[in-house]
Structures are given as structure tokens and as C-alpha cells.
Amino acid sequence: MNRRHCAAAAITLVCALTVLTAPVQAFAAPSPPHPSVSQPASGSASDSGSKSSESSESSESSKARKSSDAPAKSLEEVREEIDDLYQKAGAATDAYNLAAERAKKQSNEIVRLARAIVEGRAKIAELKIRAGAQAREQYRSGGLPPGAQLMLSDDPQLFLDGVSRVREGQQAAKGVLGELTRTQQDLETYTQDASTNWEKLEANRLKQAKAKKKINAQIAAAKKLESQLKKEELARLLKLEQEAAYQRQTAWLSSGALKDIHREASASGKKAVAFATAQIGKPYVWGAEGPSSYDCSGLTSQAWAAADRPIPRTSQEQWRLLPRIAIKDMRPGDLIIYHSDASHVGMYVGDGAIIHSPRPGRSVTLAGAGSMQILGVVRPDK
């Protein structure tokens, strides 16, 4: 590999990364069964009888007859389908955010390696100059090793004084050659590491692109369903959504989940809650982490960053890496992870409530902690 090209390519890559770094994340829909997609009912075709009429039946009539067999979807089924699409978009958002976070780390590592390569080359050039100076000095002294020159000297004092200089010179020469070898080995390692990180970066770039495509497709499908509803149906749809969340919250509270939860927030937890509360009303935007909009894990990660406790960017990484606690032990500031794939997160603020950024078309809001399927609870400052 041409090492000069490696350093230049690394810097070029970092510039290109700015195009890739658009964040993303999770959501707030329960995980209902995916309803079958059916078409609205249409008028049935005539099936009266003669062979001649059957043979002349048009393809349009055939399609109409098939459509008449499929019942129109109820508004509740539409709500479930929209929720399902947004939850899938949330999972894809989490994958996008994770790929973006890893790409950022890899780009930073490539920059570090590129600088190390440049510094290493400069050091090698310096060491070669020093080695050349030592070689020239030996040539000027007649080409004899310093030890041989001393042995031929008739001056005892010169001999004794020279022994020390010989040792110092030998040590210096050995040191220069050893340092030169180590620096060359380091350069080779830096080059290999840069190549590896480049490959990982490209893989994460492809993951980002794939996740972004999936997110946009799921959100577009959900918005298309919503756009087909009349104004009064949209109002009823929102009411159905609120009723479903209320029923789940009521069932959760009735289970006695809050019976023993009376713990105070830590000092850091209070700061995180205060930050999250101040964001209420700001819109959900997938991949956003403030200050004007947030996705779900963008909100929680920024809230804890404001409390001087950096945590992973995505809800899945928050679930994987942060200490887990029992629901009965949770306190304000803890994070509740939702859905079996850990694709959504909210911050517990006490009294059975969370602050979260739900999904596209919604804003940061208060909600019941049990209004979605709880996977578990993690504590950033444990």
C-alpha cells in the first residue's frame, strides 16, 4: 500500500463523513400484531350464468369481485397498522444511529492514525539524519572502529577519556537504530489499522444507507395511511391512540407496579429530568439530538449529557450497556426501555410517568410509564 496515499485517503474520508452524519432513533408504539393489508370493498360482479357471459367477463370485473371479498379495515385496524409501521421505523432508526455513531468513532480513529503516520515519517527522516551523521563521523576518523583507534593510542589519559565516549557513541548508535526499527514497525501497524478502520467505516456507511431507506419507507407508508383519512377520522384515530395508551397504563398501575416506588432522584438524575422537562413540546425528528428536535434516545442521551453523565446514543445500546435495575427500585432519571427489540426509551420522572419523544408527527411529551410494552429499566448513574 502506498503510505502517502493512505494518509491522504484518510483525510479525504473524514471530509466525506460530514455528508453521512445525520442522526436517528427510536419510538413509542406498542407492538400489536400486524394486520393483513386489504383493499376497501367494492361492488360485486355479476356471476349469472351462461358460458358466453363467463367467457366475456372483463379483467376489471374480476378484480372488482376479488376486492368485494375483502372487508374494509376498521379505524382501529388502521391505528394498529400505523403503530406497527412507526415501531418498525423506530427500530430502523436505532440501527441508523448506531451505524452513525460507529462511523463517527472510526473516522476519528482514522484521523488519529493519519496524524500518527505523518509524525512517524517525520521521525524516521530525523533518525536517518542522525544515523547518517554518525556514519560520516566514523568515516572522518579513518573508518576504524573507535575502540581500535584507542588501542593504537600512546596516550593513556586519551585512552581512558575515550572509553567513556566510545560507550556513549555505541549506545547512541544502538538507540538510533532501535528507535528507527520501532518507528517503522509502528508505521506499518498504523497503516494496517487505518485500512481496517476504512473497511469498517464503509460497512457502517452501507448500514446507514440501508437503515435510512427503510426508515423513510416505513414513515411514508404510515403517512400515506393517515393521509387517506378524513379530518374527523384523524381526530378519532388520535382518540383511539390515547385510549389504547390509557388502558395499558391503567392495567400496569392495577398490577401494583408503583406500590413500593417512592425513591428520590439522585443529584445527576434531577439535572437530567430538568433538561428533559425543558424539551417538552419540541417535535420528534428521527436521528435528531437537539436542540430544536429529538428522537427518543436523542432526548435521553442529551439529558444525561447535560447532567455530566455521557451515555450511549441509542436505546438498544443504552439497554445493552447501562446497569439494569428492577422496576420496583426505579427513581426519577432512570430510563425505561420499551418493546422486545429495545427500540424505544423514555425517562422516568416519578408518579408513574415518563418524558419521551414518541414518533414522527408527535412532540416530546409526558406519558404513562406503562403505556407501552416495558422491556426493562436502566440507571445511567449507578
Rounded to whole angstroms, what are the CA distances from 250 to 29, 142, 352, 372? 17, 97, 10, 11
Residues 6 or more apart whose Cβ sits within 8 Å of residue 153: 159, 162
Query: Which is it for strands 374-378 and 335-338: parallel, antiparallel or unpaired?
Result: antiparallel
DSSP 8-state assignment for residue 289: B
Residue of 6, 262, 339, 344 marked active site? 344
Residue of 5, 262, 339, 356 marked active site? 356
d(C-alpha 292, C-alpha 324), whole Å = 30
The closest of 191, 73, 87, 179 to 127, measured between CA atoms, is 179
Is 296 one of the annotated active-site residues of the chain?
yes
Alpha-helix runs per DSSP H in the chain:
3-17, 51-55, 59-68, 75-140, 146-151, 156-227, 231-254, 267-278, 296-306, 315-321
DSSP 8-state assignment for residue 120: H
Query: For residue 128, what is its C-alpha cell?
Result: 536517518
Is 15 one of the annotated active-site residues of the chain?
no
Is 344 one of the annotated active-site residues of the chain?
yes
The closest of 77, 79, 84, 75 to 28, measured between CA atoms, is 84
- Catalytic site residues? 296, 344, 356
